[in-house]
Amino acid sequence: MNNLNSLQYFLPELFLSASILIIIIVDLLLKKDKKIITAYLSVLAVLVAFFLAYRQYNYAFTSLFEGMIVLDSFAVYFKVLTALSTIIVIFISMPAFRRHSEYYILLLVVTLGMFLMVEVNDLLMIIIAMEMVGIISYVLAGFNKFNMKSNEASLKYVLYGAASTGVMAFGFSYIYGLTGHTNLFAIQQAIVGHSLQPLPVFIAFVMVVAGLGYKIAMVPFHFWVPDVYEGAPTPITAFLSVGPKAAGIALFIRFLITVVAHPASQTTFIQNVQIQAPLLLAVLAVVTMTLGNVSALGQKNIKRMLGYSAIAHVGYMMMALVVFNTRGFTAIMFYMVVYMFMNFGAFWVVQSMTPHLGSEDISAYKGLGYRHPLTAVAMAVFMLSLTGIPPFAGFIGKVYLFAAIIKQNWYTLAVIGVINGVISLYYYAYVIKVMFLDRDEEIKAISVPLYDRVLLWLLLIPVLALGVYWGPLIDLAHNSIGFFFGN
Amino acid sequence: MEATQVLFWFIAVVTILSAGIVAFSSKLIHSAFALLATLVGFAAFYVYLGADFLAVAQIMIYVGGILILIIFGVMMTHRIYDTSKRTAHNSLILSLLGGAAMAAILGMIIFRSPWTATVFKTLKPTTSMIGTSILTNYLLPFEVISVLLLGALVGAVYLARREEDEE
Amino acid sequence: MIKLALFIWLLPLAAFVINILIGKRLPRKGDWLSVGAIGISFILSLIMLYRVLVDYDPNFLVQGSVPWIDLGVLKLNMGLYLDNLAVIIVTAVSTVSFLVHVYSIGYMEGDPLYNRFFAYLSLFSFSMLGLVMWDNLFGIYMMWELVGICSYLLIGFYFTKDSAANAGKKAFIVNRVGDFGFLIGLLIVISTVGSFNLTTIHQAVGQGVLHGGLLTAAGILLFAGAVGKSAQFPLHVWLPDAMEGPTPVSALIHAATMVAAGVYLMARLNFMLTFDAMLVVAYVGGFTSLFAATIAITQNDIKRVLAYSTISQLGYMIMAMGVGAYVAGFFHLVTHAMFKAGLFLGSGSVIHAMHHSMEKTGIHGDPNDMRQMGGFRKKMPYTHITFVIFSLALSGIPFFSGFLSKDAILGGTLAFAMSQSNPIHYLLPTFGFVAAIITAFYMFRLIINTFYGKPKNESLFKHIHESPKVMTIPLMALAFLSLYFIYTIPSISPAGPEGGWFTHLIERPISAVATQLGHPVLFIPEHTEHAAHVNGMLISIIFALTGILLAYLFYYWKKIDVEKFTQRIKPLYALSFNKYYMDELYQATVVSGLLLWNQMLAWFDLHVIDGIVNGSAWVVRNFSFMDGWIDKYIVDGLVNLVANMTLAFGKSVRKIETGQIQNYILGAVLGAFFIIILTMI
């Protein structure tokens, strides 16, 4: 479809862009102590974009802007998800960031970047969309500019990001060199049609994986994660571990099922060229979750612990990438939603409790179960859900992930996954133990504002509800991936 | 050997050597100036490939913009000019190993792959073609980049701005 | 119809959610919300019953379901199964629940946890209604546990009182034993049939998918759940203690509805019980009915008498399910729900009065103790009259509802015994008839001690007064519902329920087991049934009157000196008074066994679990002593070793995080090549 006609299908993104400009202008007119209004406007903007995106669900598959991006249910699913993550993160940030409208403007730009990331269909657009998310994230990670740790985190993020983007671009140049196209579908046709040699495709694939792996914090491209997660402001840490990660995984899946493989039968994908992609992904998944979990074990700082655990969860999700069928992708898409709620929940507890506890150390949570039971119970639920203990949503998510790989006889992978689950129980349960079993002689009750409690409930309810009733969501995910087979 | 080929090898050697200096020089200012040669060398390669616009852009942006900024930064930083602070080479062996492995694999691929690009074609100006592409097929990336730059601008302004009432 | 049922079901849930969250801040602490919700449910259930009555079809059935869980291998639906059985029991539950809600407004007035009480009642109503309407066993099991939790919460409602907290725990734990059986039964069903849906199970059993010994085992295991919930021997011990809860709770949960859930379950699953399983059911029920009745004779706590009476009556129903008197058993469930709820509410009214009187006079004592009462007839006329009506119904005196249902059960049991070749089965009707005499006896013992005679404690008696209207009106409503003709319309014969709407609508389901080969089939010829019914009716009237007469002889006319008589049969009396020492028996065996086990667990906790948790810190401190330490505590050592090794590994892995960006990138490059090489080989 040509550029002009494409605009009608580009409403969410257009609306976001317009909102960014408007909010920048509104910001100029606001007094210093009224800057919080931009936060409200941002929520509104993302909310509208959310609904505009949602309306696009079940549109027929459309290729937009001369094939630069595509509009399909898969993209819409992730657009809705990422928009939701932005909304949540704005709510999480509001109490702490009241004076900087730039913060919210930047979040909107990232959201636009994430929208593009999940619908790209061209190598060039992949780089631009990823950089859009990346560059703005660098600034956000260093947003506390008087905090040395935040600065350091930002700088490391920049350097590491630059390196990995370079590697990925180099990989793209290989792909372009091999096929002569930048459009993903054209690349798919070329690879299948010319039956290329596996080796260069494989190396190009590895390079691209390096770039994507950096975005989703996959081992061995994860080195930036702990430093950045610890140094960045807590809401941004939470955001980085959900929103951009979801977009990265969407992009990863899209790359896998166009460049690496193509739809074959009703539910499975066949590789374009026989390369060891599944094995590579399996090894990466194992390394990622094991390193994430094992590193999280002895952490004293809760944000760093959650950072490592975020790496581990990427590993869990990657397990289901290896099977190359709808079951696996559906499981990932479902898990991403579940993970969003439980992870945001855990980070929100950290964010709202840090001022009361005075520290981000796990030991500071001592006796929280007696000081503010609701928060502690909610935190316990998030921890148990992250571990994957029934009846919480995390369990259901894990069941689908494991079911997907066991169906395809990846038993070793499943066993390693389960062992990792057991390891993770140690550090998640440790938080619970500290909150409930250790207590001070004197209990100093914490009073938590209504806003904090309401937000806590809003994050808690999905974790509980999805643990007992998840049918519609899994259907939605399944339906979204199904379009690749034309249904 | 033709003159163009001689020239090619000369540029190649200069580029690689200067890149080596960038990486291994113990003085920052030396690295900065060596980078100049590397970047110009790349521009020359683009000319060889018939990418005239890219070559000019390379010189204007990298040499004219970024490199000057780096040298300014190095010169204006207090006393960095004559310190001989070494960048740390913590694990030289591992680094060499990694580099060698990378070179081996990439080399193997470069020499063994059936690239689709045509090697020889008549040289003609590419600027107008690029311009047309940007406003037709590649309009979206072009526009999206403007939003990206806007965001980057906002971020840069925020980071550089002096806060009056903070600390 | 489905929508109607959904409203009936979900309204109390909404009330619960609102009440538990913000009930405290609502006007009147939100009692109107719970009462209103169940009130609307009550009205809607009447509409539903009306529709069923208009239809007047024994095979009436409405089903509706939505997919719920789909894990590939396991598909579960959420759905409702509304047949006559369900509609009638929904009506009964909502009726009693509504009346108890209203009654509680008066009874619980001024309680500090007033709003929470109503929230719990709402949650209970929701779960109980769900239990009887779900269309699959899994949902039933969920609701089954939920009513259990409500019961636990409400028994321990006065949780500051130790005995109440303990009673709550006891109920919870004893029920776990039964529910464990239930769970295993469920697993047998799912592993053979592959579905929890009642209709599917029915078909599968009919086709012989689940058959033979396994079917019998499944039936008995599912029955184990009922034994726990319906307080049958030997798991009956929790119900008398459950009387620690507020009296409205005893009326609603521990007399009328929840404890009848076991009977309901047996009715629902009647189609899959083999002959052997039915015998087990019948004997457990029959024995319990007699066993509990003999205990009720000697108790002095007014609520405990009623509690044992409830156990005994539940035994009747269970026995009826076992002998194939399905209609009679279910009928008794409904009539019993009405008059037993009435009895409890009546006793609550008495206790309420006693309590207030004790507060005024400053006498400390047990307001439940019959030995402090007597002569209340004049002061509490409404309570007195309704109480007598309920007791007559319970004793099985004609013109009251209990007569119809109890007589039907006894007749059914007799018919069963007559149709079997083995004369040992005459034990069952014997249990039933003896229990009938005793029932009439202890009920009138209770009435005479409470309402007649001279006041035993004058100072207390002075301050006794009738309860407020909000409490007596539910009593009257329940008394009305204990009259026979409610259940026999359009016939008005007091002799039996035949020809009435109830027996028309409820039919014994065709046993799915019967159609399989190799299973003995329970068949009772019609003439036997008829003969048994007539005989049974005569015997039961005579027996009931005998029981009442005996009570008057002992306690009203005092023709027989109770004290002397007690002395003469002292060992028997002691046995009954101490509830056959069941609690002591459990204390000596199960509880102390558990305590021992607990100590072992505590030791394990202390040495192993804490060892793991504290392992990291400990190991770092004491690393050099590691070797000797392993020798000392091998188990702990091994566990800690694993934990420690993982931790050490984690530590070395984290060393990669040097903070130097060059190293990070180097690490990434090396890692990538390592993995490439690994996968290419």
Do residues B99 and B63 share a domain?
Answer: yes
Phi, psi of C66 (to 5 degrees): -125, 150
What is the mean predicted confidence (pLDDT) over C339-346?
A: 89
In this complex, the chains that touch B, judged by 3 or more CB pairs closer than 8 A, are A, C
pLDDT at A334 over 90: yes
Q: Tell me which residue of C218, C234, C140 sits closest to C181, measured CA to CA.
A: C218
Residue A49 pLDDT grade (very low, low, confident, very high; cuts 50, 70, 90): very high
Q: How many CB atoms lie under 10 A from the CB of residue C32?
A: 15
Q: Which CATH number characterizes residue B84's domain?
A: 1.20.120.1200
Phi, psi of C195 (to 5 degrees): -155, 155
Residue A386 pLDDT grade (very low, low, confident, very high; cuts 50, 70, 90): very high
Q: Among A412-426, C255-269, C651-665, where is mean pLDDT lowest?
A: C651-665
Taking the C-alpha atoms of residue C668 and residue A159, their distance in angstroms, rounded to an integer, is: 13
Report the DSSP pairing between strands A62-64 and A69-71: antiparallel
What is the mean predicted confidence (pLDDT) over A440-463?
A: 86
Taking the C-alpha atoms of residue A87 and residue A53, their distance in angstroms, rounded to an integer, is: 14
* A391: contact with C, CB 8 A cutoff: no
Do residues B166 and B146 share a domain?
Answer: yes
Where in chain A are the domains? Answer: 278-487
| DSSP calls for C385-445 | HHHHHHHHHHHT-TTBHHHHHHHHHHHHHHHHHHHSS-GGGGHHHHHHHHHHHHHHHHHHH
In a domain, B130, yes or no: no
Taking the C-alpha atoms of residue C656 and residue C660, their distance in angstroms, rounded to an integer, is: 10
Q: Tell me which residue of A270, A323, A297 sits closest to A429, measured CA to CA.
A: A297
Contact criterion met (CB < 8 Å) for C666 and B88: no
- The token pair that represents A242 in the structure block: 């959900």
Do residues B94 and B159 share a domain?
Answer: no
Q: Give chain C positions within 8 Å (CB) of B93.
A: none
pLDDT at residue C622, rounded to an integer? 53
Contact criterion met (CB < 8 Å) for C671 and A423: no
The C-alpha of B86 sits at a distance from chain C's nearest C-alpha, in angstroms, of 14
Q: CA triplet A314, A320, A323: central angle to 5 degrees?
A: 145
Q: What is the ipTM of this complex?
A: 0.88
Residue C681 pLDDT grade (very low, low, confident, very high; cuts 50, 70, 90): low
Summarised one tens digit per residue, pLDDT across range C50-62 is 888 888 887 888 8
* B105: contact with A, CB 8 A cutoff: yes
Do residues B102 and B37 share a domain?
Answer: yes
Nearest CB to A210: which of C657, C672, C680? C672
DSSP state of A257: I
pLDDT at residue A338, rounded to an integer? 94
Summarised one tens digit per residue, pLDDT across range B64-111 is 888 888 888 777 776 655 555 555 556 677 778 888 888 888 888 888
Residue A285 pLDDT grade (very low, low, confident, very high; cuts 50, 70, 90): very high
- The token pair that represents C425 in the structure block: 């089965």
C286 or A2: which carries more pLDDT confidence? Answer: C286
pLDDT at residue C574, rounded to an integer? 75
In a domain, B96, yes or no: yes
Residue C628 pLDDT grade (very low, low, confident, very high; cuts 50, 70, 90): very low
Do residues B49 and B84 share a domain?
Answer: yes
pLDDT at residue A345, rounded to an integer? 94
Do residues B38 and B115 share a domain?
Answer: yes
Taking the C-alpha atoms of residue C519 and residue C503, their distance in angstroms, rounded to an integer, is: 28
What is the mean predicted confidence (pLDDT) over A447-467?
A: 89
Summarised one tens digit per residue, pLDDT across range C523-575 is 777 777 777 888 888 888 888 888 888 888 888 877 777 777 777 777 777 77
Under a CB-based contact definition with an 8 Å cutoff, are residues C520 and C281 in contact?
no
**Whole domain around residue B17: which residue ranges?**
3-125
What is the mean predicted confidence (pLDDT) over C471-475?
A: 87
Under a CB-based contact definition with an 8 Å cutoff, are residues A261 and A322 in contact?
no
Taking the C-alpha atoms of residue C352 and residue C141, their distance in angstroms, rounded to an integer, is: 36
Phi, psi of A149 (to 5 degrees): -65, -40
Q: Among A238-247, C316-325, C366-375, C585-594, where is mean pLDDT lowest?
A: C585-594
Residue C506 pLDDT grade (very low, low, confident, very high; cuts 50, 70, 90): confident
Summarised one tens digit per residue, pLDDT across range C229-241 is 888 888 888 888 8
* A54: contact with B, CB 8 A cutoff: no
In a domain, B150, yes or no: yes
In a domain, B132, yes or no: no
SS3 C142: helix
Q: Give chain B positions within 8 Å (CB) of C666.
A: 91, 94-95, 98
Contact criterion met (CB < 8 Å) for A200 and B106: no
Summarised one tens digit per residue, pLDDT across range A103-134 is 999 999 999 999 999 999 999 999 999 999 99
pLDDT at C620 over 70: no
* CA distances from residue B89 to C538, C660, C661 in whole angstroms, order as listed: 107, 11, 12
| DSSP calls for A143-159 | -STT-HHHHHHHHHHHH
pLDDT at C674 over 50: yes
pLDDT at residue A201, rounded to an integer? 85
List for chain A the helix, strand, coil content (%; round to 5): 75, 5, 20
Q: Among C80-94, C142-156, C580-594, where is mean pLDDT lowest?
A: C580-594
pLDDT at A400 over 50: yes
pLDDT at residue A48, rounded to an integer? 94
Under a CB-based contact definition with an 8 Å cutoff, are residues C152 and C82 in contact?
no
pLDDT at C455 over 70: yes
What is the mean predicted confidence (pLDDT) over A236-257?
A: 92
Q: Tell me which residue of C346, C163, C158 sits closest to C241, measured CA to CA.
A: C163
pLDDT at residue A80, rounded to an integer? 94
Containing B53, the helix (H) or strand (E) segment is helix B52-57
Do residues B29 and B72 share a domain?
Answer: yes
Contact criterion met (CB < 8 Å) for B116 and A174: no
- The helices-and-strands tally (H runs, E runs) of chain B is 7, 0
pLDDT at A392 over 80: yes
C545 exposed, middle or buried (CB, 10 Å; 0-12, 13-18, 19+)? middle
Q: How many CB atoms lie under 10 A from the CB of residue B107?
A: 10
- The token pair that represents A482 in the structure block: 């199904």
Nearest CB to C666: which of B87, B95, B105? B95
* A425: contact with C, CB 8 A cutoff: no
Taking the C-alpha atoms of residue C263 and residue C230, their distance in angstroms, rounded to an integer, is: 7
Do residues B121 and B148 share a domain?
Answer: no
B70 exposed, middle or buried (CB, 10 Å; 0-12, 13-18, 19+)? middle
- Low-confidence residues of chain B, pLDDT below 50? 167
- The token pair that represents A299 in the structure block: 């952490």
C491 or C201: which carries more pLDDT confidence? Answer: C201
Q: Tell me which residue of C48, C33, C121 sits closest to C85, measured CA to CA.
A: C48
Do residues B39 and B121 share a domain?
Answer: yes
In this complex, the chains that touch C, judged by 3 or more CB pairs closer than 8 A, are A, B
- Longest alpha-carbon distance in chain B: 68
SS3 A57: coil
Provide the domain count of chain B: 2
pLDDT at C352 over 90: no
Percent of chain C with pLDDT over 70: 87
Under a CB-based contact definition with an 8 Å cutoff, are residues C363 and C459 in contact?
yes
Under a CB-based contact definition with an 8 Å cutoff, are residues A14 and A56 in contact?
no
Cα Rg, chain B, nearest whole Å: 21
Please, which residues 131-150 of chain B have a Cβ atom closer than 8 Å to chain A? 136-141, 144-145, 147-148, 150
Q: How many CB atoms lie under 10 A from the CB of residue A479?
A: 16
Do residues B143 and B82 share a domain?
Answer: no
pLDDT at residue A132, rounded to an integer? 93
Summarised one tens digit per residue, pLDDT across range C413-424 is 888 888 887 788
Summarised one tens digit per residue, pLDDT across range C160-191 is 777 887 888 888 888 888 888 888 888 888 88
Strand ranges inside C30-142, DSSP E: 61-70, 75-83
Partners of residue C69 on adjacent β-strands: C76
Taking the C-alpha atoms of residue A487 and residue C128, their distance in angstroms, rounded to an integer, is: 43
Do residues B84 and B25 share a domain?
Answer: yes
Containing A62, the helix (H) or strand (E) segment is strand A62-64
Do residues B89 and B165 share a domain?
Answer: no
Contact criterion met (CB < 8 Å) for A223 and C653: no
User: What single letter denotes the amino acid at residue B104?
Assistant: A
